[in-house]
């Protein structure tokens, strides 16, 4: 399903710099910029909770309302805090509905692999994919059905059917996911073996040797 334009309001901001940005964040706002289409870069401020909610749901496109004017924009970059939780800054690029854009989309695995019943474990290697498509064809994500995968099987990017109108320049031989049995680590095996062995009572032999001989 192609992404739709979410509605979002923004206010222009005159004060720039780290101190000004901190003041905005203290007020529950996020500094952002709008650029592209040979127009001037426009610094704006947006509501942190609202934009974070949209981003958490995978939104890429917005109808950004600024001083009564609505612009079609695409999220190009989001800066988070060191924990990857709080949104600190957003870059929006102006887009035309008839133009192709490049962006990164998340890959979501769907289904339970057959190989898991045989002791295999599903491992996702590729979590995101750089794609190119019309603005109106941007998918919410790339969904990959893995229910058919057997134990010791590998799924390459070439095996993934991209949505209509979506292409990628990424190497198709990249591994998206695989199902394989996880080998026991040497450290874990050693720990398990040590735990299974009967513990030696430390000091028992020393006490026995040190005990005085019984008198007759």
Q: How many helices (H) and strands (E) does the chain have?
A: 4, 12
Using alpha carbons, select from 174, 54, 62 the residue that is nearest to residue 107. 174
Per-residue pLDDT tens for 112-130? 999 999 999 999 999 999 9
**Separation between Cα atoms, residue 163 and residue 142, nearest integer Å:** 8
Give me the phi and psi of 164, to 5 degrees please.
-60, 130
- pLDDT at residue 158, rounded to an integer: 96
SS3 content of the chain, % helix, strand, coil (to 5): 20, 40, 35
- The CATH number assigned to the domain with range 97-184 reads 2.170.120.20
DSSP 2: B
Q: According to the 3-state scheme, what is the secondary structure of 111-175?
A: CCCHHHHHCCEEEECCCEEEEEEEHHHCECCEEEECCCCCCCEEEEHHHCCCCCCCECCCCCCCE
- Residues of the chain with pLDDT below 50 are 214-216
| pTM for the structure as a whole | 0.69
**What pLDDT, on a 0 to 100 scale, did the predictor assign at position 62?**
94
1-95 and 97-184 share one fold: no
pLDDT at position 194 is 58
Tens digit of each residue's pLDDT (9 = 90 or more) over 33-63: 999 998 999 999 999 999 999 998 888 899 9
Q: How far is CA 21 from CA 11, 44, 104, in A?
A: 14, 11, 27
Indicate the CATH number for domain 1-95.
2.40.240.10
Predicted confidence at residue 199, as pLDDT, reads: 54
Interior angle at CA 107, CA 53 and CA 97, nearest 5: 65
**Structural domain boundaries in the chain:** 1-95, 97-184
């Amino acid at each position: 399903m192609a992404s739709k334009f979410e509605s979002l309001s923004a206010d222009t901001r005159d004060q720039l710099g780290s101190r000004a940005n901190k003041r905005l964040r203290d007020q529950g706002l996020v500094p952002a910029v709008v650029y592209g289409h040979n127009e001037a870069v426009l610094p704006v401020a947006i509501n942190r909770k609202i934009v974070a909610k949209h981003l958490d749901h995978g939104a890429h496109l917005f109808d950004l309302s600024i001083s009564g004017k609505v612009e079609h924009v695409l999220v190009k970059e989001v800066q988070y805090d060191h924990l990857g939780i709080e949104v600190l800054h957003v870059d929006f690029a102006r887009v035309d509905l008839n133009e192709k854009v490049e962006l990164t989309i998340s890959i979501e695995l769907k289904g339970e692999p057959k190989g898991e019943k045989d002791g295999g474990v599903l491992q996702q290697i590729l979590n995101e994919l750089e794609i190119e498509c019309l603005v109106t064809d941007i998918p919410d994500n790339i969904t990959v059905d893995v229910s058919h995968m057997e134990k010791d099987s590998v799924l390459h990017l070439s095996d993934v059917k991209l949505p209509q109108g979506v292409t990628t320049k990424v190497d198709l031989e990249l591994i998206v996911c695989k199902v394989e049995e996880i080998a026991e680590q040497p450290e874990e095996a050693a720990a398990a073996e040590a735990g299974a062995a009967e513990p030696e009572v430390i000091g028992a032999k020393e006490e026995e040797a040190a005990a005085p001989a019984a008198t007759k």
